[in-house]
């Protein structure tokens, strides 16, 4: 039998197939019925899948994005799927080639239940996010394993909809019909809740006073920084305040408040997107608490804001205006250039001030600087080529003498507690401090007043001490900069650190790390 293709389909196959590094499951496919998705699953298993010794299906791909898509496909049809990253070495003649493979393990029968022996207590310093609401649901992943969670932040909704522990599900009979959009709870119409009042007050003074002042060019920079510090602090408070009502540890715990916030949020964003599209404004992306619009006119923005106030009882705030915006395929990563200040805005910026080596910060800064003057697609394509070139050159420079100094490789981290308190898990920077301490003690052990000197040394290396160290070869993995030599540098580790720092920006502008490493794809030989 012969098969005839329409020109559009033929051109799509020609453009999108045969390039494994760019292969993806189109997003439209995920909207199909479950039985159709099962057919796709079975076909992919017949292609690059198999049956493992663990008596479960597996699917292998050299393309990380395709593996992620396959995991979503499995979840859509009700199968568990974990992703494991592994190295594959193949020989071709006298040469060896190393590739990264992503193996998806599929379970459709085994129930994954977390029991007490699966958990343990650990010392931890950092952010902990507690989620216990049923709305705003997203799928997140830890070490390749997916699980269900939720997240949403809506201080404006709390204020406008009078959400508080004493107003949601109030006892008044005449309030029962005042239902919250998106959930089945009602809100009091007799009084304003204390939580709605406080959060609303802080939200209003931030939006109407401190934030405009932080951007007021007529004010001195020092004063603008002062206002910016306050508005950022207020933002942290109001954005985190909703979550406490979903926490059992909060004295005023009231899960209906948290669920009402996310329920209204999802409903409002959905309706805002529909309204924008109805007005022929292109929606690039809708998040849990924001909408990205492409080149809306001022009158369109005004009309949407007025509609939102009338229909949703919400004041929509124009948060950011970019002259250039790059969204990753996953949308959660993006990089933009502000239209007025030309400042770079990267969501979830991972390059910190102290715990990132100076040479990486310099490379990162140079890369983002290239993006600053982009205003159209032609400039973007030129910038993309320049970024790939610069990243390749800098990747090759790592570990080469007379380019970056030993100090450029230094990582600076302070001790968060006294040395003696690090008794179980020993972080790498603490290992570097222990090495320094031992070195200093050995230097004075033959001195007549050694006891006093050793006490001073022990007092020096305690909470608050900032240690500078490099990632080094060997079992310890670190070496204090004071004791290190250039040849101690672990080149592989620093290449990984550079990748981590640049990946978020590269992902947003559609550049894979394989392109930076210069790995040739199979289709380059044909």
| Cα within 13 Å of Cα(409), Cβ side | 31
Q: Which CATH architecture has domain 155-281?
A: Orthogonal Bundle (1.10)
| pLDDT over 90 percentage in the chain | 22
Mean pLDDT of the chain: 80
Q: Give the global pTM.
A: 0.54
pLDDT of residue 50: 81
- The strand pairing partners of 99, in sequence order, are 88
Nearest to 432 by CA among 459, 405, 471, 404: 471
Distance CA 102, CA 87 (A): 9
Give the DSSP per-residue string, 327-346: E-TTSS-EEEEETTT--EEE
The fold adopted by the segment(s) 406-488 is Topoisomerase I; Chain A, domain 4 (1.10.132)
pLDDT at 136 over 50: no
Intra-chain end-to-end CA distance of the chain, in Å: 29
pLDDT of residue 84: 85
Average pLDDT over residues 491-500: 90
Nearest to 427 by CA among 126, 88, 41: 126
Distance CA 21, CA 514 (A): 9
Residue pLDDT, tens place only, 352-387: 556 789 899 889 888 888 888 888 888 888 888 999
Could you tell me the residue ranges of all domains in the chain?
A: 7-110, 155-281, 334-399+494-525, 406-488
Average pLDDT over residues 486-507: 88
pLDDT at 306 over 50: yes
Average pLDDT over residues 284-294: 76
**What is the DSSP code (8-state) at residue 489?**
B
Q: Encoding tokens for residue 466? A: 């900032």
pLDDT at 490 over 90: yes
Average pLDDT over residues 227-233: 91
Least confident range of 74-83, 132-141, 357-366, 410-419: 132-141
- Model confidence at 438, pLDDT cuts 50, 70, 90, reads very high
Check if the beta carbon of residue 261 is closer than 8 Å to that of residue 254. Answer: no
Place of tokens 């090759």: 396
Domain 7-110: state its class: alpha beta
pLDDT at 226 over 90: yes
């Amino acid at each position: 039998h012969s098969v005839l293709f329409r020109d559009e389909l033929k051109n799509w196959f020609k453009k999108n197939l045969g390039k494994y590094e760019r292969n993806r499951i189109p997003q439209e496919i995920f909207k199909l019925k479950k039985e159709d998705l099962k057919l796709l699953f079975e076909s992919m298993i017949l292609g690059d899948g198999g049956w493992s010794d663990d008596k479960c299906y597996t699917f292998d791909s050299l393309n990380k994005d395709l593996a992620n898509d396959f995991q979503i496909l499995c979840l859509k049809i009700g199968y568990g799927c974990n992703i494991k990253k592994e190295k594959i070495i193949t020989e071709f003649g006298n040469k060896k080639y190393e590739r990264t493979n992503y193996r998806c393990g599929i379970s459709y029968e085994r129930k994954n239940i977390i029991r007490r022996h699966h958990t343990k207590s650990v010392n931890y310093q950092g952010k902990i996010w507690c989620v216990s609401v049923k709305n705003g649901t997203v799928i997140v992943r830890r070490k390749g394993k997916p699980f269900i969670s939720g997240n949403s932040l809506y201080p404006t909704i709390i204020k406008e909809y009078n959400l508080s522990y004493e107003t949601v599900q109030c006892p008044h009979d005449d309030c029962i019909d005042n239902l919250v959009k998106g959930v089945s709870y009602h809100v009091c119409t007799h009084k304003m809740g204390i939580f709605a009042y406080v959060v609303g007050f802080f939200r209003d003074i931030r939006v109407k006073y401190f934030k405009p002042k932080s951007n007021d060019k007529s004010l001195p920079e020092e004063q603008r920084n002062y206002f910016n510090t306050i508005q950022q602090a207020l933002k942290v408070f109001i954005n985190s305040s909703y979550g406490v009502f979903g926490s059992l540890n909060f004295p005023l715990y009231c899960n209906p408040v948290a669920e009402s916030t996310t329920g209204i949020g999802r409903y409002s964003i959905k309706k805002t997107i529909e309204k924008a599209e109805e007005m022929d404004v292109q929606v690039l992306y809708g998040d849990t608490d924001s909408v990205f619009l492409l080149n809306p006119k001022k009158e369109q923005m005004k009309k949407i804001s007025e509609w939102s106030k009338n229909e949703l009882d919400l004041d929509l705030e124009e948060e950011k205006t970019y002259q250039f915006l790059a969204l990753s395929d996953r949308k959660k990563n993006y990089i933009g250039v502000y239209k007025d200040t030309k400042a770079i805005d990267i969501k979830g910026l991972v390059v910190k001030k102290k715990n990132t080596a100076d040479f990486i910060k310099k490379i990162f800064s140079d890369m983002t600087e290239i993006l600053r003057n982009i205003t159209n697609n032609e400039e973007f394509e030129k910038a993309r080529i320049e970024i790939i070139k610069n990243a390749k050159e800098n990747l090759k420079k790592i570990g080469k003498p007379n380019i970056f100094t030993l100090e450029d490789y230094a990582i600076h981290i302070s001790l968060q507690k006294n040395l003696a308190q690090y008794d179980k898990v020993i972080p790498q920077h603490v290992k570097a401090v222990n090495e320094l301490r031992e070195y200093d003690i050995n230097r004075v052990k033959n001195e007549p007043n050694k006891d006093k000197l050793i006490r001073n040394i022990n007092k020096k290396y305690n909470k608050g001490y900032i240690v500078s160290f490099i990632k080094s070869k060997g079992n310890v993995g670190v070496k204090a900069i004071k004791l290190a030599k250039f040849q101690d540098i672990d080149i592989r580790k620093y290449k990984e650190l550079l990748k981590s720092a640049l990946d978020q920006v590269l992902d947003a502008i559609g550049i894979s790390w394989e392109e930076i490493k210069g790995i040739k794809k199979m289709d380059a030989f044909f």
